[in-house]
Homo-oligomer: A and B are copies of this chain.
Amino acid sequence: MRQDTRLSRLLHVLLHMAETDAPLTSERIAAMLGSNPVVVRRIMAGLREGGFVAAERGHGGGWRLARPLEAMTLLDVYRSLDEPELFAFGLSNPAPDCLVERAVNGVLGAEVAAARESLLARFADIRLSDVRQDVALGRDRP
């Protein structure tokens, strides 16, 4: 299954936005991402609604950070995307009559829930300023 790359792209964009005070247009962001302006506006919409970035229209407009990177976590960015599904696998039938299938759902569902909780807890702990620090250190594999 093709993977959702929106989280990865948003992090990339936000870190670039922190490099300058001037607003970045969707056009320029799209060039950075190898994408196009409409896709950029689409994935940025949630961040705007969440107050993490601000967009201005017209001449000299574009996107600007509305908060410092210290005040944004990976979880914030994930949530701004409307918390899309994290896992590529899931239950075949969420509410079966079959007792066997209910037991399978119980085990698998519990593991997924635990993995999700633990991953989101990590996301909540990682600030974008931490990632910026990795850029400065030239880290691409921590």
- C-alpha gap A88/B130 in the complex (Å): 24
A8 at the interface (CB under 8 A from B): yes
Query: Across the interface, do B4 and A88 meet the contact criterion of CB distance under 8 Å?
Result: yes
Query: Across the interface, do A98 and B5 meet the contact criterion of CB distance under 8 Å?
Result: no
Which residue from chain B places its CB closest to the CB of A132 in the assembled complex? B103
A115 at the interface (CB under 8 A from B): yes
Residues of A within 8 A of B (CB-CB), count = 58
- Main secondary structure, interface of A, reads helix
Query: Across the interface, do B5 and A92 meet the contact criterion of CB distance under 8 Å?
Result: yes
Query: Across the interface, do A111 and B119 meet the contact criterion of CB distance under 8 Å?
Result: yes
A108 at the interface (CB under 8 A from B): yes
1/0 per position for A100-142, CB-CB distance to B under 8 A?
Answer: 1111111111110011001100110010001110110011111
Query: Across the interface, do A88 and B91 meet the contact criterion of CB distance under 8 Å?
Result: no
Chain B neighbourhood of A8, CB < 8 A:
89-92, 104-105, 108
Query: Across the interface, do A101 and B12 meet the contact criterion of CB distance under 8 Å?
Result: yes
Having A9-B92, A84-B89, one finds 12 other A-B pairs with CB under 8 Å, namely: A1-B84, A8-B92, A12-B92, A15-B103, A88-B88, A103-B140, A106-B141, A106-B142, A111-B126, A115-B119, A115-B122, A118-B118
